[in-house]
Structure 1
């Protein structure tokens, strides 16, 4: 296996640090628009090489794949680049792994009632081409989406006979401070991606169809495990809702994220001022995207680890009936402590938790444990080998029984 890792930022750097401890591949070419950043990341292991790439150019992706004999393209950049990387991998004869999916476009007349172009629609539209070529595009294989989808497969196969709701719930108690110890606003993940998913109309799967709602709707307080505690979570557009119902029978699928009042206020202000826009505007003779400017002026998520404390939790709340037909409510989760990831890997916990899952998936693919063709999500594969390997990597997952609730009710 020869892997092209596109992106040497926070998640890409963590991916490389995790993969450096494994032996399932022959080479990883780390490519970034910033060639120096890629070269620095490549110094971590003798099996790594650095290269420059323009991720917006499918032809450049294809050429770099052919130059290095790449078998698998690993996408670790913002989802705006998904389709050029996806198309470039296909043109080069390589398989593809993504931690997100192709971007959505809201319904032009009724964005908060109807779906427009959904997350992943562009990729699923050409699934038959990947199938005909006998090739695999594994999409949504980060932590959320990704591990949460693995949890859904595990719950459907081993815990539940009927599923009312697959409810992804994400929360943390992370704090970032400045040099004087004062708490500061510093997103722990790509701000470009965060704006995209938080300000788009959230999608909910209900009664056999996808619907949309308003941003930050249906707030509920969820009590997260391992000391994180209660966090208010709200609806956010996310890939799980578009993936899980394709392979798993459920009455409802949701994604709720613990953003916090300050973050929600900031996002609303950015939207009001038009600073969430991706279309370029001319400023003193230079064309710039407002969202790119916002992302550029905030701290790099890869750099905040030494000033961050706390834990992050990704998980899936499943309700329905157990294998004996009795009501069941279970939260499957994965908690990561920033102190541990910084000490063990030198990367902050949010990017590390995102990066470990595609590394595991690629290892399972290299072994032949996971195999398939077409455009597939993590739900299409056996969850047990994945969860065993997650534990082997030194990062265990948990399971907690919840109070029984009616489907869709906002309580914890």
Structure 2
């Protein structure tokens, strides 16, 4: 296996650092438009690992917006798998470039949605991933796999959902992904500041688009941003966090392979964060449509969202000023295999202190990066296999979760996952 990682930001950096602890591949090419970012990660690996490990990593410049450029870099390095770690706006070009190069493909976020033109808060328009699933036949004909949504959410949450369907429930009422954290970022004076732990570009896309809900009787429908607030109790000391509906890929993926009456995604944003997002929206600063702006060198066109992203701290750099934990998981309700009502929360927690100490990566990007590396290892071993465009729930969950939880000494990743039994939901 020869892997091209497209994007050397926070997640791409963490993917490379985690991969450096494994031996299932022949080479990893870490690429970025700013090749210096990729070179910094490769240098970090050389500093922290032996010469043999370092020799398997290299850096390359790439233009992720150009499918021909993606294909050219992949061909030049004899790549077998393209790992997309850039903003989701580049999914179409990286997706096309991987197929043109004859490589397999993985991503952690799918092709973008477009709201319904007349009724966006009731009906979906173009859904997340629609563009990719429409090309499934091309990938099947080529005998290549596009494993989409293989991060943490989507990704690990979908693996958990498959595990619940296979082992814990005879009938599922709801698959509800729930994401929460108690993370705090402080400035040099020790004051808490607004610094999103993930790409603000992606966060704005997810949180301000109409959230999608799937129900067996009505299919996919949409609702207003920040709807259906609920307080969810997160484990391992995180505690209660208010969660709201957010557009996310799990709702578009899980119903394709798993049988449930309802599928939702709720994100623990908190009141302050929601207020900031609404302000950005109301001021037009969440827009991706370029505006003509005067500058010292004459008029330029710039997208407001790109300005917001440039003004905020790079999520890859805030780890030293961050403290707390992040939790990703899926809350499943329904009928257990014994015929009794059951509710469980399957989850994984990452502590920023641990990920910074071991990888110098903040916990949100590290937790996202962990799962595609595990998936690549299962693909390299032939434990997972397939062709076409498939989501994580299309594959058996057991080998993934076993390898994830197995100790480092025994060849695993040393990342245990949890299963909390919750009070069954009343059906009255």
Query: Does 1:399 find its partner at 2:419?
Result: yes
SS of structure 2 residue aligned to 1:255: strand
* Partner residue of 1:161 out of 165, 170, 193: 170
- After TM superposition, give the deviation of residue 46 of structure 1 in Å: 2.1
Does residue 383 of structure 1 match 2:391? no
Deviation string, structure 1 residues 32-78 (Cα, Å, up to 9, x no partner):
01011112222222211111111010010011111111100000111
Report the secondary structure of 1:142's partner residue.
coil
SS in 2 for 1:164: strand
State the alpha-carbon separation in 1 of the partners of residues 230 and 192 from structure 2.
Answer: 25
Two-structure CA RMSD over aligned residues (Å): 0.9
Matched, 1:106 2:115: yes
Of 47, 65, 71, which aligns to 2:56? 47
Separation in 1, partners of 2:143, 2:125: 30
SS of residue matched to 2:384: coil
Give the structure 2 partner of residue 297 of structure 1.
311
State the distance in 1 between where 2:216 and 2:106 align.
30
Q: Determine if the alignment matches structure 1 residue 232 to structure 2 residue 242.
A: yes
**Residue 187 of structure 1 aligns to a residue in which SS?**
coil
Q: Distance in 2 between matches of 1:356 and 1:42?
A: 18
2:342 alignment partner in structure 1: 328
* Residue 306 of structure 1 pairs with residue 320 of structure 2: yes
Partner of 2:256: 246
String of CA shifts for 1:142-193, please: whole Å, max 9, x gaps: 0000000000000000100100000000000000001111101100000000
Instruction: Choose which of 252, 273, 277 in structure 2 pairs with 1:267.
Output: 277
Other-structure match for 2:49: none
Shift of 1:406: 4.0
Aligned partners of 2:333 and 2:343 also within 8 Å: yes
Q: Residues 246 and 266 of structure 2 are in contact (CA less than 8 Å); yes or no, is this contact kept in structure 1?
A: yes
Q: Supply the distance in 2 between the matched residues of 1:363 and 1:130 (Cα, whole angstroms).
A: 21
CA–CA separation in structure 1 for the residues paired with 2:355 and 2:39: 23
In 1, the alpha carbon distance for the partners of 2:337 and 2:252 equals 26
Counterpart residue number, 1:64: 73
Report the alpha carbon displacement of residue 395 of structure 1 after superposing the two structures with TM: 1.2
Gaps of 5+ in 1: none
Provide TM-score, normalisation by structure 1: 0.98
CA distance in structure 2 between the partners assigned to 1:184 and 1:406 by the alignment: 40
Q: 1:294 Cα shift?
A: 0.3
CA distance in 2, matches of 1:328, 1:383: 20
1:279 partnered with 2:293: no
Which residue matches 2:370? Answer: 356
Within-5 A mapping of 1:16-55: 16-43=16-43, 44=45, 45-55=54-64
SS of residue matched to 1:201 = coil
TM-score (norm 2): 0.94
Distance 1:255 1:137, change over 3 A: same
The equivalent position to 2:330 in structure 1, one of 316, 323, 341, is 316
State the match for 1:175 in structure 2.
184
Aligned match for 1:373, one of 373, 376, 387: 387
Asked whether the equivalents of residues 341 and 425 of structure 2 are also in contact (C-alpha less than 8 Å), the reply is: no
| SS of aligned partner of 2:236 | coil
Quote the Cα distance in structure 2 between the aligned partners of 1:396 and 1:18.
16
Gapped regions of structure 2 (runs ≥ 5): 46-53, 406-411
User: What is the DSSP-based 3-state SS (H/G/I as helix, E as strand, rest coil) of the residue aligned with 1:316?
Assistant: strand
Instruction: Indicate whether 1:288 and 2:299 are aligned.
Output: no
Aligned residues: 408
Cα distance between partner residues in 1 of 2:94 and 2:200: 21
- The match for 1:342 is 356
| 1:186-222, Cα deviation, whole Å (9 max, x unpaired) | 0000000000000000000012400000000000000
Deviation at 1:398, TM superposition (A): 0.1
Q: Secondary structure at the match of 1:344?
A: helix
Aligned residue among 105, 116, 135 for 1:126 = 135
